[in-house]
Amino acid sequence: MLSTIAGYVAIAVENARLYQSLEQKALQIERLKDFSENIVESLRIGVVTVDLDDCVESWNPQLEDLLEIPRSEALRRKLADVLPRDLAGEISAQAASDHVSGIYRFHLNTRSNRHLVVNASIAPLLAKNGARLGRLVLLDDITQRVRLEDQMVQTEKLTSLGLLAAGVAHEVNTPLAVISNYIQMLAKQIPEDDPRQKTIERIVKQTFRASEIVNNLLNFSRTGGTEPVEVDLNSVLEETLTLVQHPLKTAQVNVVRSYAERLPVILGSTTRLQQVFLNLFMNARDAMPGGGMLEVRTGARNGSVEIEVTDTGAGIPAEHLHRIFDPFFTTKATGRGTGLGLSVSYGIIKEHAGKVDVRSTPGKGTSFRLEFPVARKAVHA
Ligand code: ADP
């Protein structure tokens, strides 16, 4: 009897041991699951997994923020119904691949019409025995990076153009001065009522125009110069508006001012900043041939002074937007525009450690936003 009972007891003990080890294994698996889920949840990259039918199985919080689609809405739906259609199309085109594949710099719009640029990596999800379970898609938001890269390329391009322009301008300046001197001497040698005086006058006028262009080119590339002083941008804007009051009125442009009270001062040169604003105002006027509204706004934020010059003019087509700061880029008729206004302004803004940003909607208008660092108060011991 004892040996019979001993057999049952042995089995019971063995079962209890097995049960305990099973429980431990389950706990370990649970922990492992939590661990990997925590990693996926805290990643700064959007992660989505889909099964073999392309139905969404997981959707991490970063993806909720990125695409503005909550997890509850995305789960168990087809990938093509939740991701932007063309992105889903590109992803499913790579469905057969056994390797990790990538889509670079994909442009998409979110629900609230935010424009994003993403890199996507697509990897097959495989079981231990190599069987396919589905796919893993990683979406990395590179919008900010792309913007900074574009800005860097633009700055580098303008710096090298500036150096080139300065070189050419120096070379051209001397012969131009010589021509100008000789032609003035010639004008004195010929009697005043001589009909050739008219031709000479034309040459003088054109040489002046040429030297104005050369001076602008030199301004574009010049850095430093006069000692910076404290500048109140509200008054510089107001003085510049007074200067252009007449041409604006003639063009039926209505000026709306919204200046911030007690704007902090910045360090710089009043005359050079005036040149920037003058260019912006005159460009705004030229963009509104039938009249319109020019709004000048100032404000202070995070240690910077902001100026926004907005017009209700023709706007700038997207394909021109990245060229408007290039020297000699103009869409105006010959004789009306030199294409140097904005490139000179860009040089001046950089000289003042400032930034400039343009937004434009063709047919609606353009807005130039400038930002300059506030002058730091000297610390008295
Ligand atoms: P210019 O005025 O001599 O043409 P700029 O460098 O000042 O040279 O401007 C370059 C070009 O940028 C202009 O010819 C015009 O096409 C465009 N532009 C600048 N400002 C505006 C604006 N406010 N609205 C529309 N287009 C503009």
User: What pLDDT score does 377 carry?
Assistant: 65
339 lines ligand 1 (CB under 6 A): yes
Give the CA angle between residues 308, 334, 330 to the nearest 5°: 35
What percent of the chain shows pLDDT beyond 90? 52
328 lines ligand 1 (CB under 6 A): no
Does the structure show a pLDDT above 60 at 288?
A: yes
Q: How confident is the model over 15-74, as pLDDT tens digits?
A: 999 999 999 999 999 998 888 888 877 778 999 999 988 899 999 999 999 999 999 999
Does the structure show a pLDDT above 80 at 354?
A: yes
Q: What are phi and psi of 38, to 5 degrees?
A: -60, -40
User: What pLDDT score does 222 carry?
Assistant: 60
Atom of ligand 1 at shortest distance to CA of 340? 6
Under a CB-based contact definition with an 8 Å cutoff, are residues 327 and 161 in contact?
Answer: yes
31 lines ligand 1 (CB under 6 A): no
Under a CB-based contact definition with an 8 Å cutoff, are residues 255 and 325 in contact?
Answer: no
Looking at the whole model, is its pTM more than 0.85? no
Atom 19 of ligand 1, residue of closest alpha carbon: 283
Compute the distance from residue 280 Cα to the ligand 1 centre, in Å: 8
Under a CB-based contact definition with an 8 Å cutoff, are residues 116 and 143 in contact?
Answer: yes
Give the CA angle between residues 180, 184, 186 to the nearest 5°: 120
Under a CB-based contact definition with an 8 Å cutoff, are residues 94 and 120 in contact?
Answer: no
Compute the distance from residue 331 Cα to the ligand 1 centre, in Å: 7
Atom 21 of ligand 1, residue of closest alpha carbon: 283
User: What pLDDT score does 225 carry?
Assistant: 57
Token couple for 93: 């085109």
Q: How confident is the model over 98-124, as pLDDT tens digits?
A: 888 888 999 988 888 889 999 999 999
Atom 12 of ligand 1, residue of closest alpha carbon: 324
CATH numbers and ranges of domains, the chain:
42-141 (3.30.450.20), 143-222 (1.10.287.130), 225-381 (3.30.565.10)
